[in-house]
Amino acid sequence: MSNLKSHQTIQSSARNFLLDSVAERYSYNFEWLGRPIIQYPQDIVAMQELIWKVQPDLIIETGIAHGGSLIMSASMLTLLDYCDAATAARMLHPAIPRRRVLGIDIDIRAHNRAAIEAHPMANRIEMIQGSSIAPEVIAKVHERAQSSAKVLVCLDSNHTHKHVLAELQAYAPLVTPGSYCVVFDTAIDDIPAHMHSDRPWGPGNSPKTAVREYLKTHSEFEIDKAIDRKLMISVAPEGYLMRVR
Ligand SMILES: C[S@@+](CC[C@H](N)C(=O)[O-])C[C@H]1O[C@@H](n2cnc3c(N)ncnc32)[C@H](O)[C@@H]1O
């Protein structure tokens, strides 16, 4: 950014854009390889940068919806595998892809499951139906993560403080040093309460308040503020948590 003044001007425009676009349900406008992805394009680009930087072999996502973010992660992992010279020969006959995505959702609708399972990226996606904070689901995810060297986690399910804090406690420990726990929809805390009136979350009871509470006792994670600074428009401000040790 050239100078502070232009930075402040863009930030103020970005804030106005976020408020106006949330009111218009902007995040529902996009698809990734044919599946609806409920994200802002800036955050999708940030995820691409993180996946390239971390080179995870497992991405765990809570909140599947139509599967767009699962397919996006799976497609990035496919690219990583293809870029990995060591696995190139194996990829000519990819019986079992090396890098995998694990998605959890309390309600995987039959038509969404069918579309995800029919997608060319399906062979590296596993879905678990159940609440992301149910002990049996957490146990299954931990078991799947055991053999993974680099794990990245994305939390995008129920956005209440209590639920996200429980998800952080359950899944953030799986994040490997140098990788990230991305907590989506922290922006809820910055959006007036009347814009969430049909939801159990809102300012003061949001993913951002959960992140703040979690970080008080988990200094192994730090907010990657450089991502917030450059995105400006994001549903995850203060939500890109890097595991520093
Ligand atoms: C915002 S959508 C996920 C969007 C998706 N990550 C994407 O980018 O396209 C939230 C999803 O969380 C799921 N959900 C709500 N409560 C949940 C819970 N307790 N456990 C797991 N998933 C839950 C909903 O069923 C919904 O599909």
Token output for 187: 């922006």
Residue 92 reports pLDDT greater than 70 = no
| pLDDT of res. 6 | 74
Residue 207 beta carbon below 6 angstroms from any ligand 1 atom = no
Question: How far is the centre of ligand 1, averaged over its atoms, from the C-alpha of 93 (Å)?
Answer: 33
- Given this model, what pLDDT does residue 98 score? 85
The total number of residues shown for the chain amounts to 245
Query: Rounded distance, CA 57 to CA 145, Å?
Result: 9
Which pLDDT score, from 0 to 100, does residue 94 have?
Answer: 58
CB of 69 shorter than 6 A to ligand 1: yes
Least confident of 50-64, 88-102, 180-194: 88-102
Measured by CA distance, the residue closest to atom 14 of ligand 1 is 157
**96 pLDDT higher than 90:** no
Q: What does 1-36 look like in DSSP terms, one character per residue?
A: ---HHHHHHHHHHHHHHHHHHHHTTGGGGEEETTEE
For the chain, give the percent of residues with pLDDT over 70: 93
Mean pLDDT of the chain: 94
**How far lies 183's CA from each of 36, 122, 124, in Å?**
19, 24, 23
* The model scores a pTM over 0.85: yes
Ligand 1, from 101, 155, 158, 235: best to mutate by most atoms within 8 Å of Cβ?
158
- Between strands 151-155 and 58-62, the pairing is parallel
More confident residue, 92 or 244: 244
Q: What is the mean pLDDT of residues 10-29?
A: 96
pLDDT at 82: 87
Q: From ligand 1's centre to the CA of 104, what distance in Å?
A: 8
Give the whole-angstrom CA distance, residue 224 versus residue 229.
Answer: 9
Consecutive H or E run containing 180:
strand 180-183
